[in-house]
Amino acid sequence: MEAKLVTEMSRGYLQLIVLELLDEPIHGYGLLKKLREIGYDSVEANTLYPLLCRFEKNDWAQSQWLLTEGQPQKQYKITETGSEIRRQLNYLWEQQCEIMKKVKGRLDD
């Protein structure tokens, strides 16, 4: 499959998946690890961190620095606005899935 097409489709899914994973505070490396655990292993840090910055800019996520014995870690968590966006994106995704099922003839009308 053409790499550009995969990238375009994955970009939208990645936003929704990351919003789903931000219910609990988590740092960027932890997000990368979770994404890989669920099989979304094509995401690199240079894709994820700009996404998290856009989420903060749009007030979809907030961050705070966690000071531990080791390196300080910036943790991210979904905001109320982000939760609403996530709800809307989930609704859109469900609609698209239903449309695709109809197109493929998998739903009885």
pLDDT in tens, 54-77: 999 999 999 999 887 778 889 999
Domain CATH for 12: 1.10.10.10
Domain interval for residue 16: 3-103
Q: Where are the alpha helices (DSSP H) in 38-104?
A: 45-57, 80-103
Mean pLDDT per 10-residue interval, the chain, length 109 residues: 78 91 94 93 89 97 89 94 97 93 75
The verdict on residue 85 lying in a domain is yes
Instruction: State the pTM of this model.
Output: 0.84
β-sheet bridge partners, residue 75: 27, 64
The answer to whether position 108 is within a domain reads no
Number of domains in the chain: 1
Whether residue 12 is contained in a domain is answered as yes
Domain annotation covers residue 109: no
pLDDT of residue 108: 57
The Cα 51–Cα 76 span in angstroms is 12
Closest CA to 18 of 51, 45, 42: 51
